[in-house]
Every structure is written in structure tokens, then in C-alpha cells.
Structure 1
Amino acid sequence: MSMGIAIGLATLTVPAYADTAMTDNRAPTAAVDANAPITALSKLSSLDTVKPLQVTVPNVDHFETTAGVPVSFVRAAALPIVDIDLRFNAGSARDGNIRSEGFGIANMTATMLTQGSQSLNENEFTRAVETLGINLNSSAYKDMFIVSLRSLSDDEHLLPAIDLMTQMLTKPTFDQQILARNKARLLVGLQQQKQDPGSLASLAFNQALYGKHPYAHPSSGTLESVPSIERKDLIDFQNRYLVAANASLAMTGNLTLIQAKKLAEDITVNLSMGKAAAVLPEPKPLDKSQHIHIPFPSSQTTVLMGQLGSKRATDPKAQQQQTNFAVGNDVLAGGDFNARLMTEIRQNLGYTYGISGSMSPMLARGPYQIGFSTRNDKARAAIDASLEVINDTLDNGITSTEMRLTTDNLKNSFPMSFASNAGINGLLGMMNFYQLPDSYLIDYVSRIDQVQLSEVNQTMRDTLEPDKFLIVTVGQDDPWEKRANK
């Protein structure tokens, strides 16, 4: 039985960008003395009259299909386009449940869904997609499996596109010859990763951080596991995880609610009911710092350091804490030139061209990582200086000015997250997958407005433990051995 609930999201007031009137007070004939000392920026009086930016969050309709799949829908009639996002709790973290050491099964399943169905061989399927001019893709990540479609909204394009989508979901062929070709190509790619220091660092970091947890292995698989993937593994994965009980659907575009409900039924009606995937286990944090070095013939050393982070917050209190951390981390390790790590490690010390760090929350606790590259002979000094900046930030906190600049930036950039159909649908898909209420979106600006300096600094201290960081280096020399020999 379908359940329709229309939720009108609130209109939010966000301050306008500070640079919208940068040229308003410039006199067109004024001469500028390039040698004159700069004492202060002129006051832009026009900013006093800038009206707050009005942001209207899209209206979201919620309903369930007959198969019980939850659907979030936003009508966007400005363009004749429809975006569809079908997510399954079925990423590469489930590979080991299909077969022990079966790393890469989810990824290979995603690859082969678009390579032919029982009605169309690979060439025919590809030709049908190209003829319709649609984007039809499937991808496997750590904790989710996504099938996405973008099509023109008229029946001539959309209806056959939905038919192709349902074919790949319910009637894939997993052709043996194509599987053999895919494995050969993937093995070449995995071999090439050995020549990429960033890939080597990431693989080593995840393996050391997660140990025996399902997040430890790469989604694409390994040189040892990929050759063992069989057609039966892909069929087993499809039958077990690509099922209605394990799915959520997001739709955005030029559709009425009645049309959206009909399409949702068409997409999900032939899915096996199945069972919802089991809850992933929580990984255990490292109890002490670890240093891992991978020798690599290069003039640069790639550094990746961090720790176990947080999982996706679903209750208001935890969401506020994650917002607090996002503000503090943007000051510490954001990618712009105002961030403390960028200012010190790049601008003041000249150790790197860029350094940044971020949290990656998932169903289970994701990683927090800071990464950069530097000259081999400066690697240890750059690591030590980075840790010093982190510790100083935790000890003394960020400033109110830094916090204000960051919160203003977050609020001002917020509308861009739903400035397009694809942006809206991506948000809907994420919220539906993690079972987040609409208040997650409605209250975004409120959470930023509720940020308090003391709480930001305390959240940073509660979250980051630099004395227990996992530090992976990939380069010519081991930074710790070099320092020890001095």
C-alpha cells in the first residue's frame, strides 16, 4: 500500500556573498599609487544595503512502492529532464559475505550490469543507451551500490530508458567472455596502481586502519582476488543484495507525483523482495600511533595520516556535533589558503603545494585523513610541523573570526548543493540511503547558526587524537629512519 506524504520545506534566509558589491565604490577615474602602503581595506558602504539571500529548499514528496521501497521525489519542471537514483545497502563491504576473500565482487557486478541483458547483448544494450541519449550507470562504493539514470522526461525517451534500467537490474547476463575481459583489464589497472604513490598510500592506510573490518579492502578488488571472481559470485550478489528490502529510490525532474509513483512502481516491481542487509560491524580504533613506510623511487614523498572518524549521524545531537567538527576542521585543514595547515605548511614553510584533511562518514565509522606530498628530504619536518599545527589548534582552539568566516562560507555555499536537478537528486539519494529525515536539510542553516566557539573547540578535542595517528609515507627514504640516523 503506497503512502503519500507531501512535505513543504521552509524558506531559509542566508546572508549574501560578501563580494557581490566589490566594485560598487570604485571611482572610474581614480589613480592608484602602487607604491603606497596598504593600511586597511576601504569600507564598502554598499554592503550595508545588501539584502539577505533568500533560499527556498525544494519540496519533497515521500511514498513507498508496493514492494516497500521508500521513495523521495522532488518535482522540478524547469527542465525536461528526470534524474533517478536507486541505492542498495550493498557496497564492497559485503564482498566477503558472498565468498571469503571475494574482494571486488560488488565492483564487478556494477561494471557488468550495463554490459548486456537477457534481451540485449552488450553492443545492442550500448547502442540503445546511446540512441536514447541517456546516462545509465551503476557503481559500487564501500557501503552502497548505486544505479543511476538521467533521461529526457518525454515518454519517447523516458519509458524505454526505464525499461533498460529494469533489464539491467533484474535480467543481467553476466556473460562469461565479457567477465574474462573485464578481469584482464582490471588486473592491468591494479598493476598500474603500484606505480601511483597516492594509490599505494591509500591502500596501506585502509588496511592498517581497518584490519579485518570489511572497509579494509579496496572496492575494486586485489591482484589476488580478481582472478577468482566467477559468474556465480555476481549472480549471488545480485540475488542477495540488489533486492527491494535493501533499496531506496530518489527521483527529481519534470514529473507529476502521479507519474513519479508510476515510474517508481515500474522500476521496483520486478525486484526480488529479499532481506535487508545486516548492520555492518563497527571498526575498532587504533590504540597507538603507527608509522608505515613504502619504498618508492621518487623525488617526492606522499604522506597520508589520520585516524578512525565518525559514522553518518542520524539524530539531531550527533548531527550538530558533526557540524561543529566540520567548522573546526575547515579552519584547520580545509583546502583553501586560509586553513591553518595550508598557511603554515605551504605558505610559511614551503613544504608542499597543498595539504588538506577531511572526514568521510559512512554506515560504519569512516576515516579521517590528511594528505600532502613533499620533497623526500623534507618529509619528516613536514609531518612534524603538521602535527604541531594540529596539536596547537586542539590546545588553543580556533578563533571567533575564523569560525565566523567559515560559517558564513558554509551558509553561502549551501544553495549550490541543490542548484541543479542532479544536485537535488544526489542529496535525496544520500538522505534516503542513510534514513535521514527532511529536517536534516531544513535545519542545515540552523545547525550552522547554533555553532558555538567553545563547542567547536571541544568537539575537535573530543574527535582528533594526533598522538594516535596512523601515518603512511610513500617515497625514496623512510622519514623516521633518516631522522634517527641524524
Structure 2
Amino acid sequence: MNHLMKTVAGIAFASVTMLGLANPAKAVEVQEVVSDGGIRAWLIEDHLNPLITMDMTFVGAGASTDPADKLGLANMVSGLIDEGAGEMDSQTFRGEMENRSISLSFDAGRDDFSGALTMLTRETDTGIDLLRLALSEPRFDNEAVERIRSQIIAGLKRAENDPGDIASRTFFTSIFGDHPYARPVSGTFETVGSLNATDFRGFVNRAFAKDNLIIGVAGDITAKELGPLLDEAFGHLPDKSDLPTIPAAKPSFGKVDIVEQDMPQSQAIWGQKGIDRHDPDFYAAYVMNYILGGGGFSSRLTEEVREKRGLAYGVYSYLANLDHADLMMGGVATRNDAIGQSLSLVSDEWTKMKERGVSQEELDNAKSYLTGAFPLRFTSLGNLSGMLVGMQKEDLGTDFLDRRNSLVEAVTLEDVNRVAGELMDPDNVTLTVVGKPEGELAF
């Protein structure tokens, strides 16, 4: 969901744990860089290691824009645009990246199309040129197209029998109905099988533009050096994207869907209405969710379901913010004969949170962890450049990294318990269970 996950292969990521630790009062300096051509990026300089990471997102260019008869288009493009570009076929393009220890990858989510570039400082020119070619001159050769198509179809076949995938598809179809969010990001056998180079080029021409581009950069580069590279990588893009308008989603909750599968375990996911990222009460909800199910072994759900009764290895909850819908979700997987009891315990905790809220001790422990752990997000350049993209998309300001812990610290017991009473809605939760559950299921 969110989406918002990548692997940097072939390169040992740089440790930048010094950021934010030497001077806790000021975590890192975020600079806004504007190139001569008007391309904007946010930058965090760190010259400890000769490494640079660049994350980019084309907002609104995700799978929700796929035409109904071309589902999986954005996803397939994300697997193809680094499979040969310009004069280089797939083998040559990939060989250039491997020989120079450059990682370039792309991903399509429901809302956005994103990319990530990691390169040694000495390979900056080559890395930027490969990125430029991938975005502006992807080849879509038949060999690469059929190979990536085969990989996607193989994934779709695996997903047919994967309880987690089945639960996710069923849940999103149940709550979103005919909204684009209900459609599978990876497409279907029929639609993926019909996609061709004309479709891929059309997507690139519509989706990659300057007006929906967000860039975050971290590492061994200065603002002065970055400006010309932005023009080199992105200056060729058209000024305006040409993407369909996605309507606001109106998810429907309160249903129970059971998908019978002959397997020893049942997989359950559930969800209700969430809270907007810009709502003044967002941080109170964020802390509340940490106490409920977002805090791993320290959460109430884990304590009740795993620690006290050993019913499941893991159980969790989280806030999910899509561009057109806000959700509060959770999940658990356990034996068929234990899923009913597990869900009953989860439902009880959902209700207790609404009716009783949290204690001062729980709040203090949560705030202590959430503020203390935040600097650990600065331990890789990829985390930093990705955070810069998210900060821009959510319009959080260049000083957010300095302000974030104070936002958590400002949450009071009254805030959390008021928000818990308003947000938690155990009577309007949609539940999806996949497996052969025994006994009555409800939330």
C-alpha cells in the first residue's frame, strides 16, 4: 500500500547514521534545488561515502489510470523501461548497470509510478544518462516484452492460490466496488496477454511529465552539481502529463467475505475508514494505532493474540493513505481452528480502544519509542531520498524532519482517547477471510 518498497541490488548501501545524531536539535538540512530548466528536487547532502541515491515519483501515474481493457499496463511498463533504451538492447543496458555498480528500478502502485537510482559518485554521469534513456527512449523489444510478460503471468498464477493475494484482491473489490482501486495492479491473464509496445509507448507519453514529477536526492553531491543533472535526466520530459482524473473513492464497509480454500491456515484482513494525512488529529491516530497494532511486540493485538494465547505468529494494524481514500487496516494468519478466536480478540481490542482509549503509561511508552526510533530512518541514503519524495507529495515542508518528533510529542492523552472514540468503528469493519475457517466468523 502505500505502498509506499524497493531493493537496491549490487551495491552496499551507505551508512549515514551520523545524520541527526550529532545534533539532535537539527536532524538534517533539506535543500530545495531548482535547475536552470525549472526542474525541482529536494536534496540532503552527505559526503561521508561516495554514493548518491535519487528517488522519483510521477504522481497520479499508477495502476488506477489503466484502461479497463489494459489492466496491468503501468505495472508492466515499470518492468520494461530499464530493459533496453536508446541504442542499447536489454543485455547491453543491464550489463552497463552491472559493470558500473548502478542500480535502477521502477515500480507502479495504485496511485503513482516511481523510480529509484543508486550510483557511485564517480558513475554519476553514466547513471543519469541511463535514467534519461529509460524515461525517454525505452525500446520495448519483443524479447524483453515477452520475458517480462512471462514473469508477470507466472506471478499471476502464483497469486491465484496465495491466500494473502486472494484476501487483498477480495477485500479491495469488496470495499471499492467499481472504483479503479478495486482493479488488480498487476492486471489479469487476459489483459496482460494483450498488451503491446504501442500501449507501453502511449503510457510513457501520457504519464511521464514535469508537472507530476517529484524528486528526492541524497548523498555525495552538492546543490550546484545537482542542478545540471536534473536537466539532463528530466529536461526532455513534456511540460504536462495527460492522465485521466481518478474520482474520490467512497469505500463501503461492514461486510464479511469468506473465500473457501483447502489449506491448513486462514488469512484474514480487515479495514474501516481511516484518517486523512493532513487531518489535525493524524498524529493522535498514528500514536493510537501504534499502541493498538502498529507497535509489533509492544502492541495490544500482539499481546492478546500471540503472547498470551499463541494463536498467531503475527497480527497487526496500520493507517493506509491512498490519494483518494483513507483506510485503517489490519491482518492476521493462523490455523483454521484458531482464526475465529483470533478475530474475536481483535474485535474486542478494537472496541476497547474506542470505549476506553489508552493509559498514560501506554502513551508515554509509545511516544518514547516513536521519537527515539525516528533517527534510525536516516541510516541509509535510499531511505532519505525516498522520504524527501514523500515529504513533497504530502506538502510537509523542508523542515519536516526537524518538526516531526515535536508533532508526536505534542499528542496528549486527551487527544488520543478523543480520536479513538471518533475514529474506531467496530460496527463498520469489512472482514475478508481466505482458507477453511472453523466456527463463526465476525468482527
Q: TM-score, normalised by structure 1?
A: 0.82
Aligned to 1:303: 268
Structure 1 residue 142, shift from structure 2 partner: 1.5
CA displacement 1:387-412 (0-9 Å, x = unmatched): 01110121011101000000000110
Q: What secondary structure does 2:270 align onto?
A: strand
Aligned partners of 1:350 and 1:195: how far apart in 2?
A: 26
1:83 to 34, 53, 58: 53
Q: Out of 151, 169, 177, which is 1:211 matched to?
A: 177
Gaps of 5+ in 2: 1-18
Distance in 2 of aligned mates of 1:419 and 1:142: 28
Kept after mapping to 2: 8 A contact 1:68/1:244: no
Once the two structures are superposed, the pairs formed by residues 83-122 of structure 1 within 5 Å of their partners are 83-96=53-66, 99-122=67-90
- Give the conservation status (yes or no) of the 8 Å contact 1:311–1:362: no
Whether 1:251 and 2:217 are equivalent positions in the alignment is yes
User: Which moves more between the two structures, 346-355 or 400-409?
Assistant: 346-355
Task: Note closer, same or farther for the CA distance 1:219–1:455 as it changes in structure 2 (3 Å cut).
Answer: same
Bigger drift between 233-242 and 361-370 goes to 361-370
* CA distance, structure 2, for counterparts of residue 429 and residue 185 of structure 1: 29
Distance 1:148 1:309, change over 3 A: same
Structure 2 SS opposite 1:374: strand
SS in 1 for 2:418: helix
Q: Provide the residue aligned with 1:428 in structure 2.
A: 388
Contact 2:65–2:246 (8 Å) recurs in 1: no
Q: Is 1:166 paired with 2:140?
A: no
Alignment of 1:338-417 (within 5 A): 338-417=298-377
Higher mean C-alpha deviation, range 186-195 or range 52-61: 52-61
Partner of 2:297: 337
- Aligned AA (2:367): T
After superposition, what is the alpha-carbon deviation per residue over 1:68-88, rounded to whole angstroms, capped at 9, x for unaligned? 432111111111111111210
Shift of 1:279: 5.5
Residue equivalent to 2:9? none
Mean CA deviation greater in 250-259 or 178-187: 178-187
Task: Give me the whole-angstrom Cα distance separating, in 2, the residues matched to 1:246 and 1:136.
Answer: 20
What's the CA shift for 1:479?
A: 4.5
Match of 1:35 in 2: none
Matched to 2:409, the amino acid is: D
- Distance in 1, matches of 2:419 and 2:248, equals 21
Distance, in Å, in 2 between the alignment partners of 1:136 and 1:385 is: 44
Residues 56-102 of structure 1: CA deviation (Å, up to 9, x unaligned)? 32111113335543211111111111111121014434433xx3332
After superposition, the C-alpha distances for 1:251-275 in whole angstroms (9 at most, x for unaligned) are 1111122101111111111112223
Supply the distance in 2 between the matched residues of 1:173 and 1:433 (Cα, whole angstroms).
Answer: 30
Q: Distance in 1 between matches of 2:93 and 2:105?
A: 12
Cα 1:100–1:303 shift into 2, 3 Å: closer
Q: Which residue of 1 aligns with 2:92?
A: 124
Corresponding residue for 2:34? 64
Give the partner amino acid of 2:257. Answer: I
How far apart, CA to CA, are the structure 2 residues paired with 1:445 and 1:53?
14
> Identity rate of aligned residues, in percent?
25
Distance 1:272 1:322 in 2: 36
* AA matched with 2:284: N
Compared CA separation, residues 94 and 290, structure 1 to 2 (3 A): closer
Runs of 5+ unmatched residues, structure 1: 1-11, 15-51
- For residue 230 of structure 2, the aligned residue among 261, 264, 267 is 264
Contact conserved, 2:72 with 2:187, CA < 8 A, in 1? yes
Q: SS of 1:240's equivalent?
A: helix
Cα distance in structure 1, aligned partners of 2:381 and 2:311: 41
Letter in 2 for 1:403: L
Contact 1:310 1:362 in 2 (8 A): no
Amino acid at match of 2:141: D
Question: Offset at 1:472?
Answer: 0.5
1:160: Cα distance to partner?
1.2
2:44 alignment counterpart: 74
Code of the residue aligned with 1:69 in structure 2: it is I
- Measure the CA separation in 2 of the matches of 1:293 and 1:479: 12
User: CA deviation digits over 1:33-56, x for unaligned, max 9?
Assistant: xxxxxxxxxxxxxxxxxxx98353
SS of 1:341's partner is helix
**CA–CA separation in structure 2 for the residues paired with 1:61 and 1:53:** 18
- Alignment partners' CA distance in 2, 1:430 and 1:406: 23
- Structure-1 separation of matches of 2:31 and 2:359: 41
CA RMSD in angstroms, aligned pairs only: 2.2
The aligned residue for residue 146 of structure 1 is 114
When residues 342 and 436 of structure 1 are mapped into structure 2, their CA distance, relative to the original with a 3 A threshold, is same
User: Which is higher, the Rg of structure 1 or of structure 2?
Assistant: 1
Looking at structure 2, the residues matched to 241 and 92 of structure 1 have their Cα atoms a distance apart, in angstroms, of 9
In structure 1, the residue matched to 2:414 is: 454
Partner of 2:7: none
Which one of the candidate residues 273, 283, 286 is aligned to 1:323? 283
**Residues 322 and 83 of structure 1, relative CA distance in 2, 3 Å threshold:** same
Number of equivalences = 424
How many Å separate the matches in 2 of 1:276 and 1:139?
19
Q: Would the aligned equivalents of 1:92 and 1:105 in 2 still touch at CA under 8 Å?
A: no
Q: Which amino acid aligns with 1:122?
A: S
Distance (whole Å) between structure 2 residues aligned to residue 169 and residue 403 of structure 1: 46
Cα distance, 1:185 vs. partner? Answer: 2.2
CA distance 1:90–1:177, change in 2 (3 Å): farther
Q: Is 1:289 aligned to 2:249, yes or no?
A: no
Q: Distance in 2 between matches of 1:261 and 1:438?
A: 18
Q: Provide the secondary structure at the position in 1 that maps to 2:338.
A: helix
Runs of 4+ in 1 over 6 A off after TM superposition: none
Match of 1:3 in 2: none
- Structure 1 residues 459, 62: CA separation in 2 closer, same or farther (over 3 Å shift)? same
Which of 176, 180, 189 aligns to 1:223? It is 189
Amino acid at match of 1:215: Y
Q: Residues 402 and 279 (structure 1 numbering): CA distance in 2 closer, same or farther, change over 3 Å?
A: farther
1 CA distance for matches of 2:227 and 2:297? 47
TM-score, normalising length from structure 2?
0.90
